[in-house]
Amino acid sequence: MTTLIIFALLIALMLTGMPISIALGLTVLTFLFFLTQVPIEAVALKLFTGIENFEIMAIPFFILAGNFLTHGGVARRMINFATSMVGHWYGGLGLAGVMACALFAAISGSSPATVIAIGSILLPAMVAQGFPKRFGAGVITTSGALGILIPPSIVMVIYAVATGGSVALGPDGARVTSASVGQLFIAGVIPGLMLATLLGATTVYRAWKFDYPRLPRASWGERWKAFRECIWGLLLIFLVLGGIYRGWFTPTEAAAVSAVYAFIIAVFVYKDMGLKDVPRVLLGSASMSAMILYIITNAVLFSFLMTSEQIPQQLTAWIVDMGVNWWTFLIFVNILLLVAGNVMEASSIVLITAPILFPIAVKLGVHPVHLGILMVVNMEVGMCHPPVGLNLYVASGIAKMGITELTIAVWPWLLTMLMFLVAVTFIPEISLWLPRMLGML
Amino acid sequence: MRFLLRILDRLEETLIATLIGAATVVIFVAVAHRYTTDFVVSYRNLPGAMAAYKFLAGIHLSWAQELCIYMFVWMAKFGAAYGVRTGIHVGVDVLVLQLPPKWRKGTILFGLLCGALFTGIIGTMGANFVMGLSQTDQTSPDLELPSWIVYLCIPLGSYLMCFRFLQVAYSYFRFDDLPHHDHSHVEGIEVDTAVGPTPEGVR
């Protein structure tokens, strides 16, 4: 009953269009004022201590690093490198776009940032070469989604944070701890590469079928030159992933180091932005981070309320009583997240649903890392279809195409992504193999 | 009045931009310090290594993590207020956009006033909490700052945010003027002037 009241209130408030963070907070306050005896003072403290967690601080750092990189010409050099490597195959610039997105995703933690960085340079070039606009926009919108699957990834940090505090018991009754940011990052590598390959294959097939232009083959000398030019961007991949895997840095430290590194290469090495642009980048990153941190603060309040009302435990018991097995549950999770992806953006969805889904999934024997990767892939799909797919809006801004037209344009790749989602759901080893091989699980 | 408001705006922007920049530098310096110390230790036979080690070991940066967290919490509170002014806070607007204009205006105003109500309540709760803390001599673990100063960002940030919600609600009520952050726009990227890739070999 309480569960119903809480969620009805939350959904009613959200539908008025108020910020999600406010809707979450007001739900908690209303509930605490009228329906329980939890001391209100605990709430004020939670507002501060909720984000007093060093892991969360990776988010502002990754956003800052991403903004320096988007401004900093790293993307252009990565596109040049990708073009020289695969531009002569079917798909030409389109295939190079998929590869460039995958490379950029490995240094940026957000999908829209990837779409902007790669798309704003590549799309005009593709149109100039005679590709239909639809094709280019479809490739970039969907490949840009790799940004949150290939580490680093802001959504993965949010998942780790959202599930970090919850008490979950495995099928045998033993306590299961949630996935760490490092584990999730490493687990994202294989699915990321797989999805990039699949999207690339779709691109090649479509380009072959409609006979789109290809580029002349670049010589090894040219490839080497393009590689040398983008080496500074590529080094960041090894710095972040290698650093976290080898234990040089915690994920948050890695994020801070990559922010400083990105600043140095943007301003001093590539010289694509001047020192006078720095305050603006700082301000933009700060306000974006503050928005996400504010949602997190209120989502922490919300999950505090749910925990004190024992809602995840009740739901778990209920699901287990119904005799649902793990894969039926995961199908349900997929549907829920895809529907939620229609109305909310990724970080809010993960923050609200992960604390509820996590204990149930663990009880049914799903590995926390597997659930995390599954949620991330769902978020990717959500970003690529209307009405709130952020990538779609970003791409429509760049390509100057209407949302409806773009929706039709993305479907071949979206279909590929949905098939990949099914694979990730039913084959846990896609997510778990690499971290297990490296001894991280 | 307008002048004062503009000063407040600038202050807010400068504060959050400085905080994110400073936090990055603090963590970077702490990491760099750790690795240079390790480096000096592993090459301790080189001339001057002892002196360098003594110098580095004299600097204690154990408080860096705590400082970074506090800076970001402050940034989050004031940045959220700035976000209200620039309309960056996302909501579910699928239903609202379907409403007839008159209803839509009412609903949006309701949302904004709810925002003001929530932040107002939190601000007051935070103020009481800080008042209570200032009577004690509780300090933060590493920096040993008085706790009430650290927690001061809750009432200050929340009241500022409440003020921003009221400001936005007023200008929307009077002039139909609603700040809207375009998430699909990124400064510094001019789409039209962006040049295509020209690797050698493209004819």
pLDDT beyond 80 at B199: no
Of A29-43, A200-214, B51-65, the poorest mean pLDDT is in: A29-43
- Buried-exposed string B155-168: b where 16+ CB fall within 10 A, e elsewhere: bbbbbbbbbbbbbb
Q: How far is A344 from chain B (nearest CA, A)?
A: 6
Alpha-carbon gap: A56 to the closest alpha carbon of chain B (Å):
9
A280 interface with B at CB cutoff 8 Å: yes
pLDDT range class, residue B191, cuts 50, 70, 90: very low
CA A258/CA A237 separation, integer angstroms: 9
**Tens digits of per-residue pLDDT, A301-358?**
888 888 888 888 888 888 888 888 898 999 999 999 988 888 788 888 999 999 999 9
A175 φ, ψ (degrees, to nearest 5): -70, 135
Q: pLDDT band at residue A430, thresholds of 50, 70 and 90?
A: very high
Closest CA to B114 of B79, B173, B165: B165
Q: What is the ipTM of this complex?
A: 0.86
Band (B7; pLDDT cuts 50, 70, 90): very high
- The first and second tokens of residue B93, run together, are 């607007």
Helical residues (DSSP H) of chain B, grouped into ranges: 2-42, 49-57, 64-86, 101-134, 147-151, 153-175
* Cβ-count burial A270-287 (b if 16+ within 10 Å, e if not): bebbeeebbebbbbbbbb
Cβ separation A48–B79 shorter than 8 A: no
Residue whose structure tokens are 């590709």: A131
For residue A169, which phi and psi values (nearest 5 degrees)?
-110, 135
Q: Do A17 and B111 touch (CB under 8 A)?
A: yes
Number of other residues whose CB lies within 10 A of the CB of residue B2: 6
Quick one: tokens of A63?
Answer: 């956003």
Residues of B in contact with A396 (CB under 8 A): 184
Judge contact between A176 and A169, C-beta under 8 A.
Answer: yes
B42: closest CA of chain A, how far (Å): 16
pLDDT (0 to 100) of residue B179? 81
Q: Is the dihedral of CA B72, B73, B76, B82 positive or negative?
A: negative
First CA to last CA across chain B, in angstroms? 61
Answer whether residue A169 shows pLDDT above 90.
Answer: no
**Exposure of A404 by Cβ count < 10 A (0-12 exposed, 13-18 middle, 19+ buried)?**
exposed
User: Residue B168: its pLDDT value, please?
Assistant: 93
Cβ-Cβ contacts under 8 Å, B75 against chain A: 60, 286, 289-290, 293
Task: Please give the structure tokens belonging to residue A326.
Answer: 């793990």
Residues 25-54 of A with CB under 8 A from B: 25-26, 29, 40-41, 43-45, 47-48, 51-54
CB of A61 within 8 Å of a chain B CB? The answer is: yes
Alpha helix ranges (H) inside A35-153: 41-49, 58-71, 74-86, 92-105, 111-128, 133-144
The larger pLDDT score, comparing residue A281 to residue A45, is at: A281
**Token pair in block for residue B109:** 């105003």
- Assess A256–B contact: CB distance below 8 Å, yes or no: yes
Q: What type of residue sits at position B180? A: H
Nearest residue in chain A measured CA to CA from B116:
A22
Residue type, A137: A
In contact, A217 and A203? CB cutoff 8 Å: no
Share of chain A above pLDDT 70, in %: 98
Q: What is the pTM of this model?
A: 0.89
- Residue A198 is predicted with a pLDDT of 96
Mean pLDDT for the stretch of residues A40-59: 78
Task: Give per-residue pLDDT as tens, A231-288.
Answer: 988 898 888 888 888 888 889 999 999 999 999 998 998 888 888 989 999 999 999 9
Tokens standing for A311? Answer: 């809602």
Return all residues near A146 (Cβ < 8 A) that are at least 6 apart.
A101, A102, A105, A111, A114, A192, A195, A196, A199, A380
- On whether the CB atoms of residues A27 and A302 are closer than 8 A, the answer is yes
Per-residue pLDDT tens digits for A54-112: 889 999 999 999 888 887 688 889 999 999 999 999 988 999 999 999 999 998 888 88
CA–CA gap between residue B32 and residue A161 (Å, rounded) = 26
Inter-chain contact A222–B195, Cβ cutoff 8 Å?
no
